[in-house]
Each structure stands twice: as structure tokens, then as C-alpha cells.
Structure 1
Amino acid sequence: MFLLGKSPVELLERYADLVLKFNKAKRPLRVDDFLLRCRGWISFGYYYTKISQDIIERGAEFIASKLRQYGYGYVVIDDGWQRRDTTYPSAYDWITNSRTFPRGVASTVKRLHEMGLKAVLWASFTVFDKTSHLIEERPDMFIKAGGEVYVDRLGRAYMNVLSEDAREYLEKLFETYKSWGVDALTFDRHLLIHHSIPRVPRG
């Protein structure tokens, strides 16, 4: 089967329509079932960390117009929304937005809500860039080695999740996400456990 056209989005929509007709797909009888209520799209699967505000909103428009009737209601804004100065999966402070989100995550969340979708935000909030202002402002919320904030060879610092400073910052962080209208958070447990406790040099 060949489809010709100038717009990738238009071709994708035409392809989806053909697949729908060919497979004689029907709307699920129980859209209130747990598995169906949790259907959605995650940006990481195709775009990895190379996302932008426009990419997320265009993807959401497709979900809302083509898949909402089949129980798809969630959009996961995965890695790439946050400012990052080093490497995955860190961030400057898990609040400052990337340049690819010029209107801010809150604006995208509002747009998703207008389309009847829920916004899920990914955050690996225990890993920070060495350039983060928090290292100077809140040094006690980070793991230390030799009395100094530990920074690995990739330029990343790690939250000491047992510290009072960390607890206070996480409360502020979650309140910020709530103010953005985010419906849910997702994070990688292996990052929280493994990367938060790096092997530091002795002495």
C-alpha cells in the first residue's frame, strides 16, 4: 500500500483511517475499565528526549481527534521538557522549562485539558546538573563526598532524599507541578534508587 502526499500528519491520519476500516475496529464496550481509562501516548517512545511544545500539542491533537473515542485520554510529557545542561536524566532544577517549551509546560497542560485529555509529567527529580543554582543555595539537600557536594564524571549531582532540605524542596516542586495543572507524575524507580546513591570516592 502506498500513500502519496506532502503533509506527514495528513498521511498518518489517512493511514490510521485505512487501518481502522481494514481491521473493522470497534469502540470498546467498557471505556470505564481500568486498563482502558489509562490508555494514552508517551512522547519518549518515538522522540526520546527531542521533544518540543509543538510536538506534544500536535500529538495530543491527534489523540483527541482520532483515539479519544477508543479510551485514550492521557499524554505523557516525557524527558526533554526541562532545562538540562548535562546529560540524561538530569535537570537544572526540575522547574525551569527547556527552550523548546517557550510558552511553558503549564500552557501545554492547559491546551491538553481543553482537548479533554489529562497531562502526565515525567521527572527524575533526584538528579541535577552541576550548574544548578540549588547546589549553592541548598547544598545540604545533596549527597556529599569529603564535605563537598558529590558530582559524577558526567557533571551530575544527586539528591540526598533523607535530608530535610530535600523534603522541603520536593514539597515546593510538587506544589509547582500542581499549580501547572499537571494531573499525574511519572518517574523511573531505578533512577530514584540507583542514581541517588552513587559510589563516592573514599577519604
Structure 2
Amino acid sequence: MKLHCLILSVCLVMFTQAQEANRSKLAPLPPMGWMTWNLYGERIDEKLIRSIADAMDSTGMIAAGYKYLIIDDGWQGGRDKKNNIIADPVKFPSGIKALADYVHAKGLKLGIYSDAASLTCAGYTASLHFEEQDARTFASWGIDYLKYDYCNAPEDSGTAKARYTKMAQALSASGRDIVFGICEWGGRKPWFWAANAGGSVWRTTGDVRDKWKKEQGKDGEGIMDIYKVNVSLHAYAGTGHWNDPDMLVVGLYGAKGPSSDLGGIGCSDIEYQSQMSLWSMMAAPLIATNDIMAMNEATKKILLNPEVIAINQDPAGNQGQLIKSDTSFDLILKPLQNGDMALAILNKSGILQSYSFAGGTMGLPSGFTVRDCWKQRIVGKKDKWTGSIQPHETKLFRLIKKQQ
């Protein structure tokens, strides 16, 4: 009997390890896509999702690498007589399976949302105690990504680990590859445990609002507040497991919706460009939330810049590391697979500033050509750069190594 129990235990461990190894392959690069919440909140339906899929195609977002279309909270319609979770029949009369088929035909993957409690953040049906059943349902619909929130759940880390592990195991057993986004907002330090729990990405912070930074004495985290937390966590990101500093607010311009809560009055294009630069340097998921059916040219240039996206999607999987920080500037350095380096210089101040750098200093390599990823041209050929950086601007350079 003891030998039988030992064999079962060994088999269980091996099966769990195999599941974890398989899950780590589901997001080899930071996921890119678009999510409903920041702009639309609960005001979603199948017509909107189809229109967004069309727009992601026509605007070039799919071609640029934005592969996930993620439906956030508010799609649920309760459970049927067999306790299968169902979509709201008014919002999604054709069902999620038909919607997934439409999205897949566009070359996109479909994401959906649930919560590790009985009710979601917005008060809809969630997945606690129905993990296996819901995972099978999601798989049968053709779901490719699950954002799993943590509203209405206990605050301790032990419960969070157990609930997220249970859903990850259910997804692994569902018969479909489904990327798992752990969303407990960083309070239980998921960078220490989320990968082992089966997560592909994990939120490291609270919800980002459409603003540059939090005002003193007020709630609502802006781009800078989120960045300050996530930039220090470079040691925990890598191929198949990513720190997630929440969605991009690029192009929202203070639009009414959840992102406008708590002082989310909008940002300038320079500030939006900084978010794209910083998120790309941090190997963060690039999940847009703007109105892509009415994008202006400035937003398109930010979201679709191929050189910036290439830094985010670099196969080496490195999250950039903060190498210098003072009252005015932050410098982040990111090694790239081909031996080049990416360098971001953030002007945190509210005034125009001059800056210069040279090879062989501050941990920078020597013998490189400087390419400005936003201007998409060479701006320095002799191992150095000098120039001006606007308030709240992030310069993003590719330091191209000298060919041997």
C-alpha cells in the first residue's frame, strides 16, 4: 500500500511539472492585443466585438502583432440548469462560440474574463468552485486567453495561490491551450509565485488610469505610479512568464469609461508615447484599450511603430533594467537577442532637458551606432548621442553593435 501511494505521489508530481512546463510555452513573448474594459466597461456586446475585430484588421493592428481581442467583465449571463456558465443572451445572442469563430477567421485569438470568487468585480457570475467546468466551457468556445481577477476574494496569499493554481490546472486539463492572466493587482507579490501557479502573465500593480501620475493625496494610479513598481521587477520576467503593469492607455484622451475614474483626465501624445516606450522596455504585455475604430494618426504611430514593438517582442525575453535614476532622468537598458541593446531615457521633469551619453559609461557597451526608434533613423554614429528631451518624453534608442 505504501509503495502504491508513493508511485501515485510521484506520478502526480510528474504530471504537475509537465503541466507547468507546457503552460510556460503558451506565451513565449509578451502578449499583444486589445481589451474592452478601459473604454467600454460593461457596455459590451457581440456587435461591438465584431466591429473591433474588423478594426484591428483594417488598421493594421493584427499585422503589427496585436493578436488577442479580450472581452473583460460584463459578458456573463449566469449559469444554466447544469451549472454551465453562459453569456448574456441579450448582449451575445449568437453565443461566444460563434463570436470566437468570427474572431479566429480574422487571424485573432479571443480572450475572456472571470474571477477567483463567486462574483466578479462588476458583480457578475464568476468561477469559484466551478473551475474545471468553466475551463471546459471556455475551451469548447475556442477561448485562447483567460484574465482571472481577484475581486470578492480573501486577502491572504495562500488562498490566492490555491485558487489560481486550481484554475491553471483546470485550463491545462481542458484540452485547449489557454494563456492564463493572473490579476490580483500585486498585493500578494505574484512575481514570487505566479509562474509556479501556472500563470503566463501576472498583474504587478493596481489598475492604471488615463493620467500621467497620481496627484498628491488622491487615489488612482497613473502611468508613472505603475511604472515605478514594475520597473524594479526585472528579475522575475522572462520567456513564458511576464510582469504585467496593466493595459495601455494610449489614445484614450480622457474618454469616459473606467480609465477616466479617479482623475483619469487623459495624457498628451508625448506621455502616451512614453508609456509605449516604457512598457516595451519592460517586456510588458501590450494590451491597447483605445477606440481603434476612430484612431487618429498620432495614436497609430505610437501603437504601430515596428521598431518599438520589436524591442517589446525581442526573443531574448529580457525585461529592461533601471541603470540610473535621479530627480530628472531614468535610464533603462535592455539586452537584445542579436547583441544590440535598447536604451530608454525618461525625462521625469516638467521642463525641456538636455542629455548626452557615450559608450563605455553607465554600463553601456562601446562601439555602437545609435538609432532613434521613434524617428526611425540613425542619430549617432560615433558611440554617443547628445540632444534634448521634452517634458515627460522617453527617448528610445537601439544601440546597434559594431559588425565584426
Is 1:34 the counterpart of 2:25? The answer is no
Is 1:172 the counterpart of 2:165? The answer is no
Q: How does 1:113-128 map to 2 (within 5 A)?
A: 113-128=104-119
Deviation at 1:68, TM superposition (A): 1.1
Is 1:95 the counterpart of 2:106? The answer is no
Per-residue CA deviations over 1:63-90 (Å, capped at 9, x if unaligned) read 1221112111110011121116xxxxxx
- Among the aligned pairs, what percent are the same residue? 26
Is 1:70 the counterpart of 2:60? The answer is no
**What is aligned with 1:144?**
none
Say which SS state the counterpart of residue 174 (structure 1) adopts: helix
**What is aligned with 2:271?**
none
Say which SS state the counterpart of residue 51 (structure 1) adopts: coil
**What is aligned with 1:59?**
52
1:118–1:158 CA distance, 2 compared to 1 (3 A): closer
Are the equivalent residues in 2 in contact too, given 1:121–1:186 (CA < 8 A)? yes
Say which SS state the counterpart of residue 134 (structure 2) adopts: helix
Q: How does 1:108-147 map to 2 (within 5 A)?
A: 108-128=99-119
1:115–1:50 CA distance, 2 compared to 1 (3 A): same
Are the equivalent residues in 2 in contact too, given 1:43–1:77 (CA < 8 A)? yes
1:114–1:156 CA distance, 2 compared to 1 (3 A): closer
Say which SS state the counterpart of residue 60 (structure 1) adopts: helix
Is 1:105 the counterpart of 2:96? The answer is yes
AA partner of residue 102 (structure 1): P
Gaps of at least 5 residues in structure 2 are 1-26, 161-404
Structure 2 CA distance for aligned equivalents of residues 56 and 175 of structure 1: 22
Give 1 or 2: higher helix fraction: 1
Structure 1 CA distance for aligned equivalents of residues 119 and 72 of structure 2: 16
AA partner of residue 73 (structure 2): D
Structure 1 CA distance for aligned equivalents of residues 140 and 126 of structure 2: 25
1:190–1:43 CA distance, 2 compared to 1 (3 A): same
1:157–1:183 CA distance, 2 compared to 1 (3 A): closer
1:157–1:49 CA distance, 2 compared to 1 (3 A): closer
Are the equivalent residues in 2 in contact too, given 1:52–1:80 (CA < 8 A)? no
Are the equivalent residues in 1 in contact too, given 2:71–2:111 (CA < 8 A)? yes
Structure 1 CA distance for aligned equivalents of residues 35 and 133 of structure 2: 26
* TM-score, with structure 1 as normaliser: 0.53
Larger Rg: 2
* TM-score, with structure 2 as normaliser: 0.28
Are the equivalent residues in 2 in contact too, given 1:43–1:78 (CA < 8 A)? yes
Q: What root-mean-square deviation, in Å, do the aligned CA atoms of Structure 1 and Structure 2 show?
A: 3.5
Deviation at 1:193, TM superposition (A): 3.9
AA partner of residue 187 (structure 1): Y
Structure 2 CA distance for aligned equivalents of residues 34 and 184 of structure 1: 14
Give 1 or 2: higher strand fraction: 2
1:40–1:192 CA distance, 2 compared to 1 (3 A): farther
**What is aligned with 1:43?**
36
1:192–1:40 CA distance, 2 compared to 1 (3 A): farther
Structure 1 CA distance for aligned equivalents of residues 126 and 66 of structure 2: 35
Say which SS state the counterpart of residue 57 (structure 1) adopts: helix
Structure 2 CA distance for aligned equivalents of residues 68 and 122 of structure 1: 21
AA partner of residue 96 (structure 1): I
The structure with higher relative contact order (CA 8 Å, sep 6+) is: 1
Q: How many residues are aligned here? A: 127
Per-residue CA deviations over 1:170-202 (Å, capped at 9, x if unaligned) read 2111111100010121111355444x99xxxxx
Are the equivalent residues in 1 in contact too, given 2:45–2:91 (CA < 8 A)? yes
